Amino acid sequence: MSVASVISVLDDDPSVRAAINNLLESRGYTVHTFASANEFLASADLHGTSCVIADVQMPVTSGIDLLTQMRAQGSATPFILITAFPDDNVRLRAHKAGATCFLGKPFTASDLMKCLEVALTAGDESTE
């Protein structure tokens, strides 16, 4: 990584946001955290994000709804969707919406880092 990638983490659970933030910062990433999709959409970080890690189930706007909305607006930002309720229907919806990766909570740090590597590689390819 020559330029630090900016990762936006969206989860309504502060402990999940903090854990992911700490992990990613320890690996050299710049991390911005948000308690909701609407908070993220209203932020200055919306267009500077290299990857979004979002909870599927958040109040008002779900991670899948956010991904769908951003794709409809032409954004190719990679998404990693996480959920405490991973079932096949949700996984299918996430992938159909364009998620790069789908992880059930709890997940390991290595699983998240593998997903992030794939997402950032995919993001690099889409900008070439």
Give the per-residue pLDDT at 81: 98
Is residue 114 in a domain?
Answer: yes
In the chain, how many domains are there? 1
Give the per-residue pLDDT at 117: 95
Q: Which residue has the tokens 């990638």?
A: 5
Residue 1 has pLDDT above 50, yes or no: no
Tell me which amino acid residue 36 is. Answer: S
Dihedral Cα 11, 12, 13, 19, nearest 10 deg: 30
What is the maximal distance between C-alpha atoms in the chain? 38
For 67-86, how does the pLDDT look when each residue is reduced to its tens digit (9 = 90+)?
999 999 999 999 999 999 99
CB 25 within 8 A of CB 2: no
Q: Which of 37, 27, 36 is nearest to 4 (CA)?
A: 27
Give the per-residue pLDDT at 45: 83
Residue 61: CATH number of its domain: 3.40.50.2300
- Residue 84's domain comprises 6-123
Q: Which of 67, 22, 72 is nearest to 40 (CA)?
A: 67
Is residue 110 in a domain?
Answer: yes
Is residue 128 in a domain?
Answer: no
Element (H, E) at 55: strand 51-55
pTM of the model: 0.92
For 74-120, how does the pLDDT look when each residue is reduced to its tens digit (9 = 90+)?
999 999 999 999 999 999 999 999 999 999 999 999 999 999 999 99
Token readout for 55 is 């909870």
